[in-house]
Structure 1
Amino acid sequence: MELEDYDAAFAFTEHIPEMKWTPTLIRDVVKAYGDAEPTQRVTVIGKPTDVTQRKNVDRWPKNAHGAVGEIWYDLNIDGFVSDLTATFVILDVDDGLDIALNDIHVM
């Protein structure tokens, strides 16, 4: 996402169908965060701010939907820590585990 290749970012994970994510919607959510600068982007590195950043993985026994856990990952925006959180579901599939984008929003 740092390169703003939202198509590639979208293709990198599975998706929860009910959430109706698209590469354009992911881009729009990133661009609408905080000051909503049209040039802002997700960055790998994030300098600390007053936000406590979250990068959590929780696991549990497989449920009826095949989920075995979730990931909450606070994104860095323009080189700074943010509270824009991407949440993912960890799915148990035949050949291992899949990560599915669930949501991106301020937590």
Structure 2
Amino acid sequence: MPVLLPLDASDQDIIEAVHTWVKLLEKEYYEEAFQFTYQDPYYEWTPDLMREVIYGYGFPESDAEIEVYKVTSMQDASTDDVASPYAEVSYHMPRKHRIENVLTVAEVWFSLPLNGKWSDVTATFNVLYMPSAVSLELQEIHVF
């Protein structure tokens, strides 16, 4: 079941929910990470596709002979190649969502730590405002 936050969830609460999702990926619990959020049907996410995209540094076709990328610890990630990890909740005018009585009120952009370094592979989420909770919907995982 997707994460359900209180209606008055703060930006920090939303980012903490994303941290939980990243920790699932770190353990390679792709099914659990998939279940943790709603999915934008446009991207046709599956647990296997999530894994393939991460292994391929934002692309589903990876060259395993070069390097396979995996989500690693946020606390231990270095910033060698990236100025700083990116985590932002950006609000916009509420708009209707495909789910009845749900509004999309914001987006979250979050850099992923891959192979011990913060990367420019970014996960984006819609923030969903529902009648009784706030939740997340995975949009993309790709290089920004």
Alignment TM-score, normalising by the size of structure 1: 0.90
Does residue 5 of structure 2 align to residue 5 of structure 1?
A: no
Alignment TM-score, normalising by the size of structure 2: 0.68
Moved beyond 3 Å, runs of 4+: none
**Unaligned regions of 5+ residues in structure 2, if any?**
1-24, 98-102
Name the residue aligned to 2:42. Answer: 18
Does residue 129 of structure 2 align to residue 92 of structure 1?
A: yes
Residues 19-65 of structure 1, C-alpha deviations (whole Å, 9 max, x = no match): 10000000000111187523x31013211122133111111331132
Name the residue aligned to 2:87. Answer: 55
Structure 1 or 2: more strand by fraction: 1
What is the CA–CA distance in structure 2 between the aligned matches of 1:13 and 1:6, rounded to whole Å? 11
**Unaligned regions of 5+ residues in structure 1, if any?**
none
What is the CA–CA distance in structure 2 between the aligned matches of 1:92 and 1:44, rounded to whole Å? 29
Does residue 41 of structure 2 align to residue 41 of structure 1?
A: no
Count of aligned pairs between the two proteins: 106
**Bigger radius of gyration among the two:** 2
Equivalent position to 1:30, from 40, 54, 71: 54
Alignment root-mean-square deviation, CA: 1.6
Name the residue aligned to 2:138. Answer: 101
Residues 45-94 of structure 1, C-alpha deviations (whole Å, 9 max, x = no match): 21112213311111133113211000000000011110000000001111
Name the residue aligned to 1:70. Answer: 107
Determine helix, strand or coil for the equivalent of 1:60. strand
Percent identical residues: 39
What is the CA–CA distance in structure 1 between the aligned matches of 2:131 and 2:72, rounded to whole Å? 33
Structure 1 or 2: more helix by fraction: 2
Counterpart amino acid of residue 9 in structure 1: A
